[in-house]
């Protein structure tokens, strides 16, 4: 804990991923006063909940010694948050199907206000607070990592849908006819997610006899999207074919967002943006072919301004907004 | 004018189309006290504005004789309404590019509150007030006529976008690769609008030598979507191919709406629904293949409950909501 003077309110933010928990204590200006990363890999669901609760309790103790306190708590979860029920569905945390996270947190937080939301929602809010969507009221965070999702901001509010699962853009249909293989995770995710990129590269390599490019050095089953990007940068033809397909699909998907939502910004984030950031102008070029022609001129396509910190900043902003309401 | 007793407020609603102006006087319960349809075909833009203003003035006079009055005005326009500027873009009314409709109406309406919105927004609101989306907070009106659009309701508010042109679903991209022919009106509209249906039928007929089906009796250039539906109902193979393509595309487009918005309802309206109403179960079947699998179970697909009156009911509801605010 740094010895910084708190501004006037202390915001405790958590970003829970499948493998780690980031705990950050912000002041209301968004300055980081304290930051800690803990491993959660292979933890049981209950242990993960307990870890968050312990962090709250020990921080409360430390702060009370100084006469300071946590004024609001925000939590970013890797899945869906059901607001009415206070429960989380997070496929990568064992046992978190309808995990009653709000109930567990309130047990230790007491009177401190608590707000929870999905990672895609938090990333969008983080960009509004301290990233590349400052002052935007209508923006979309398009996140491509293992999966694909969209955090959608409409008139400064996150779009939730009738049962909290809006923004499931990994399921976007972009190519007839339907094939059974799209049933597991959706058409767009099948081709243009991190896993999809690796899978498509393997498929193209299998189909090409005498392939002697960069990806040949990697054991076939172990090819990752990162390998594909690295091969793409050195001009490998297979990698080029895979990435060009992704540019086309990301372009069509974001074109559809532009036509439907008429947003100010689309922010590209997640592990793939990352290495795909230099492709954003090409994605916009593809989107410009398809989208409503006035809307596409009114939108800017930008990378995340916060990278892997977008979620925890969003959790901090959740906490701040909750306090102001 | 019927001699009905006004409930406690009188709502004057206009539904302006490319060819007609409907003027309806509602009470706050949504009962129609007065209804009139006027032709506007080939009218100049200024004349159309003057017609609405005259109707307001004469109704004010008639009502004042009875001691009644117009308490609020709502107007549904066939295009885009720019809320901040008070202007309308309506491609089918000559000269309505940035037509200052609000300014013109306020000249005669004086203190009476006035609200204007696009036809897709009004149709959605009409269904909420008196149609098949009563009590829905998150619903989408999917309208297919000459063009294709979506009126999108989120937490009881119409989605406007940053410059009022949200819901332009006619531009939805659903099939690689991009072809130049999609540039005029968008991919979905190119194939699955009223005009698209007729065009696709002509294309398939041209490609089939010895075609002797029902559509052969109609002069090639004059085939309309209505002819295609009529041929479909009598088992014509070309018409079947066209309509099956539409079912696929409408299914994919609505699947994308379901995955992105997680709505309670999708309401099908416009001239094509109409004859395409019996296809709604097949459209849902197609959408179910593509959409986020939980969201698609939470949504119902329904025809408009108001048909061609959806827009004017929406204008009435605009007027009512404006008064209550």
pLDDT tens sequence across B148-158: 999 999 999 99
B43 and B147 belong to one structural domain? no
Nearest to B260 among A167, A182, A292 (CB): A167
Q: Does residue B215 carry a pLDDT above 80? A: yes
Give the torsion through C-alpha atoms of B229, B233, B239, B243, to 10 deg: 70
pLDDT at A150 over 80: yes
A3 within a domain of the structure (yes/no): no
Residue B316 forms part of a structural domain: yes
What is the rounded distance in angstroms from the CA atom of residue A263 to the CA atom of residue B161? Answer: 6
Is A141's Cβ below 8 Å from some Cβ in B?
no
Query: Cβ separation of A248 and B138 shorter than 8 Å?
Result: no
Average pLDDT over residues A216-232: 91
ipTM of the shown complex: 0.95
Residue A15: phi and psi, rounded to 5, are -120, 105
- Whether B1 maps to a domain, the answer reads no
Nearest neighbour of A166 by CB, restricted to B167, B178, B262: B262
The pLDDT of A32-50, averaged and rounded, is 88
pLDDT digit string, tens, across residues A156-178: 999 999 999 999 999 999 999 99
Shared domain for A289 and A171, answered yes or no, is yes
Identify whether residues B269 and B160 lie together within a single domain. Answer: yes
What pLDDT is recorded for position A7?
Answer: 46
Answer yes or no: is pLDDT of A87 > 90: yes
**Which of chain B's residues have a Cβ under 8 Å away from the Cβ of A189?**
none
Residues B76 and B98 in one domain: yes
What's the mean pLDDT in A191-219?
A: 91
Note whether B31 and B118 are same-domain residues: yes
Pick from A7, A268, A260, A265: which is nearest to A135 by CA? A265
CA nearest to A200, candidates A246, A233, A169, A235: A246
pLDDT digits (tens, 9 = 90+) for B95-118: 899 999 999 999 999 999 999 999
Interface residue B91 vs chain A (CB under 8 A): no
At residue A104, the pLDDT reads: 96
Please answer yes or no on whether B175 and A171 come within 8 Å at the CB atom: no
Residue A8 has pLDDT above 60, yes or no: no
Residue A190 has what pLDDT? Answer: 96
pLDDT of residue A5: 52
Q: Report pLDDT for B6.
A: 47
The sign of the torsion formed by the CA atoms of A57, A61, A62, A64 equals: positive
Any idea which residue has 């699909």 for tokens? A249
Instruction: Determine whether the interchain pair B252/A166 forms a contact, defined as Cβ–Cβ distance below 8 Å.
Output: no
Cβ-defined contact of B160 to A262 (cutoff 8 Å):
yes
Please state the rounded mean pLDDT for residues B195-222.
89
Question: Quick check: B235 pLDDT over 80?
Answer: yes
Nearest to B290 among A178, A260, A291 (CB): A178
Handedness of CA A227, A232, A236, A237 (dihedral sign): positive
> Measured between alpha carbons, how far is B38 from B30 in angstroms, rounded to an integer?
21
Q: Beta partners for B27? A: B10
The whole-number pLDDT of residue A6 equals 47
Residues B141 and B214 placed together within one structural domain of the fold = yes
Look up the CATH number of the domain holding residue A268. Answer: 3.30.420.40
Average pLDDT over chain A reads: 93
> For A99-110, what is the mean pLDDT?
96
- The number of distinct structural domains making up chain B is 2
Task: Give the A window 59-78 contacts with B, CB below 8 Å.
Answer: none
Split at pLDDT 50, 70, 90, the class of B4 is low
Query: Could you give the CA distance from residue B118 to residue B100 in angstroms, rounded to a whole number?
Result: 14
Confidence of residue A219 (pLDDT cuts 50, 70, 90): confident
State the average pLDDT over residues B276-280: 98
Task: Using an 8 Å CB-CB cutoff, list chain B residues near A186.
Answer: 259, 290, 292
Q: Tell me if B175 and A176 make a contact (CB, 8 A cut-off).
A: yes
Residues of A in contact with B257 (CB under 8 A): 260
The more confidently predicted of residues A209 and A222 is A222
Regarding whether A67 and A39 lie in a shared domain, the answer is yes
Question: The domain containing residue B151 runs over which residues?
Answer: 135-304
A1 pLDDT tier (thresholds 50, 70, 90): very low
Do B116 and B183 belong together in one domain? Answer: no
Q: Which two tokens stand for residue B187?
A: 């991919």
Query: Is there a domain that residue B2 lies in?
Result: no
Please determine, for residue B7, whether its predicted confidence score (pLDDT) is greater than 60.
no
Nearest to A275, CA basis, from A217, A224, A211: A224
Domain membership of residue A35 (yes or no) is yes
**CB nearest B166 (choices: A165, A176, A262):** A262
* A294 within some domain: yes
How many residues are present in chain B?
325
Answer whether B262 touches A (CB < 8 Å).
yes
Tell me, yes or no, whether A251 and A166 share the same domain. yes
Indicate whether A159 and A222 sit together in one domain.
yes
- B103 in contact with A at a CB cutoff of 8 Å? no
Would an 8 Å CB–CB cutoff place A241 in contact with chain B?
no
CA-to-CA distance for B183 and B179, rounded, in angstroms? 8
Verify that A222 and A78 share a domain, yes or no. Answer: no
Domain contains A252: yes
DSSP state of A99: B
Q: Mark whether B203 and B298 lie in a shared domain.
A: yes
CA distance B2 to chain A (A): 41
- Quote the CA–CA distance of B60 and B25 in Å, as a whole number: 11
Has residue B3 been placed in a domain? no
Residue-level pLDDT at B22: 97
Q: What percent of chain A has pLDDT over 70?
A: 97
Give the residue from A32, A26, A120, A27 showing the smallest Cα distance to A80. Answer: A120
Q: Which of A21, A10, A29, A30 is nearest to A113 (CA)?
A: A10
The alpha carbon of residue B320 is apart from the nearest alpha carbon of chain A, in Å, by: 23
Report B:19-38 residues touching A (Cβ under 8 A): none
Given B138, B182, B259, which is nearest A172 (Cβ)? B259
Q: Mean pLDDT in chain B? A: 93
**A residues 162-221 lying closer than 8 A (beta carbon) to B:** 162-178, 182-183, 186-187
């Amino acid at each position: 804990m740094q010895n910084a003077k708190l501004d006037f309110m202390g915001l405790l933010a958590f970003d829970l991923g499948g493998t780690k928990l980031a705990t950050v204590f912000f002041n209301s200006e968004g300055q980081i006063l304290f930051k800690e990363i803990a491993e959660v890999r292979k933890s049981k669901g209950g242990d993960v909940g307990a870890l968050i609760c312990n962090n709250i309790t020990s921080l409360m103790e430390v702060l009370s010694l100084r006469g300071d306190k946590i004024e609001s708590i925000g939590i970013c979860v890797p899945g869906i948050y059901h607001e009415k029920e206070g429960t989380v569905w997070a496929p990568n945390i064992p046992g978190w199907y309808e995990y009653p996270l709000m109930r567990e947190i309130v047990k230790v937080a007491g009177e401190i206000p608590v707000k929870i939301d999905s990672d895609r929602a938090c990333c969008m809010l983080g960009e509004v607070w301290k990233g590349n969507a400052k002052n935007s009221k209508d923006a979309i965070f398009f996140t491509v990592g293992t999966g694909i999702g969209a955090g959608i901001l409409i008139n400064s509010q996150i779009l939730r849908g009738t049962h909290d699962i809006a923004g499931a853009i990994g399921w976007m249909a972009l190519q007839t006819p339907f094939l059974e293989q799209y049933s597991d995770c959706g058409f767009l995710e099948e081709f243009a997610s991190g896993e999809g990129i690796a899978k498509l590269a393997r498929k193209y390599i299998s189909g090409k006899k005498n392939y002697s490019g960069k990806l040949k050095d990697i054991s076939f089953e172990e090819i990752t999207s990162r390998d594909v990007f690295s091969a793409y940068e050195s001009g490998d033809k297979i990698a080029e074919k895979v990435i060009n397909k992704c540019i086309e699909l990301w372009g069509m998907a974001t074109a559809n967002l532009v036509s439907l939502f008429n947003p100010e910004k689309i922010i590209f984030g997640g592990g793939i943006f990352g290495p795909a950031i230099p492709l954003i102008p090409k994605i916009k070029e593809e989107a410009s072919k398809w989208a409503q022609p006035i809307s596409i001129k009114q939108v800017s396509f930008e990378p995340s301004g916060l990278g892997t910190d977008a979620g925890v900043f969003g959790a901090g902003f959740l906490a701040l907004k909750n306090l102001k309401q």
